[in-house]
Every structure is written in structure tokens, then in C-alpha cells.
Amino acid sequence: MKKILLVAASLCAACSGATTANDRGSNVDPSAVHTDTRTKGALRLDLKDFPEQAGILFALPSVTPGTGAIVVENTRYGSLCRFEVTGKADVKGHTIGVHITFVERLTLCTAEIRALRYTATLATAPGTYDVAVIHEGGTQADTLVRRTVTVR
């Protein structure tokens, strides 16, 4: 039992000390970071990929209200070379679905491990909204997060 607790404590300590390329700042070669921005209607999708260490556990997307906007952010493994990433927002009254689609490209990419981060900013009027974040890829669609947010 003591060995199991020791291993669990070691894993927790390793994960809590992990940093991403965004946290390391100057340790990442700026030429190794790729960016792209896309706009569809009121949704702006900012994309970035960067080298990352294996074993980093990325959390579910965050949904935060802003002044006149809802911001959804997420990081996962992948690169802009490997995936064509697009976004759209379905707005029906005060219910919003933010759809982020990942389509694999038929291309050869480097073998390095990379993290793909997106920031989706949806301009919207003040009010309270029920937001669902849906990731789509191939024939699969997964609702990752549902949040109620109040936009000022």
C-alpha cells in the first residue's frame, strides 16, 4: 500500500510541476511556434501550435465571459500541419453551440510532439447564455463542456 501511495504522490508532483510552451516563454524558439487566425461570422478562431513534452495532461475547454464576448480556449496534442481546424457558432436565442472541427490533412509533418491551442472568441450581446463546446473530427462529435455564462 505504501508503494502505491508513493507512486501516486510522485505522479501528482510530476504533473503539478509540468509547464507548457506557453509557460516557458523564452525557452521556446519563436520559429517553432505556428499561428493562424480564422473568422466566420461573429466567431474569431486564433490557432497556435508549439513543441511540447510528452505526458502533459490537458484539461477540458474553458468557457469564460468577457465584455461583449464569450471566449473558449483549449489545448490538445496536434499541429496545424496535421489538422485543418475550423470553427463555427450555432446561436439560437440564449443557447450557443461552439463547434471546433479537426480534419486530418493528407500531409507529412515532423515527428516532434506538438500542442495545438485554440482561442475561439464569439462576439455577442450582453445576457446569460448556455454554451456547449463540441469537438468534431471524422464521423465523431463530442460535447466536451456545457457552461452558463453571463456576458456584460
CA distance 126 to 65: 10
For 84-125, what is each residue's pLDDT tens digit? 999 999 999 999 999 999 999 999 998 899 999 999 999 999
Nearest to 113, CA basis, from 79, 141, 88: 79
Mean pLDDT of the region 23-52: 86
Model pTM score: 0.81
C-alpha cell at 49: 501550435
3-class SS of residue 25: helix
For 5-30, what is each residue's pLDDT tens digit? 333 444 333 333 344 444 444 466 88
Contacts of 23 (CB under 8 A, 6+ apart): none
Higher pLDDT, 53 or 2: 53
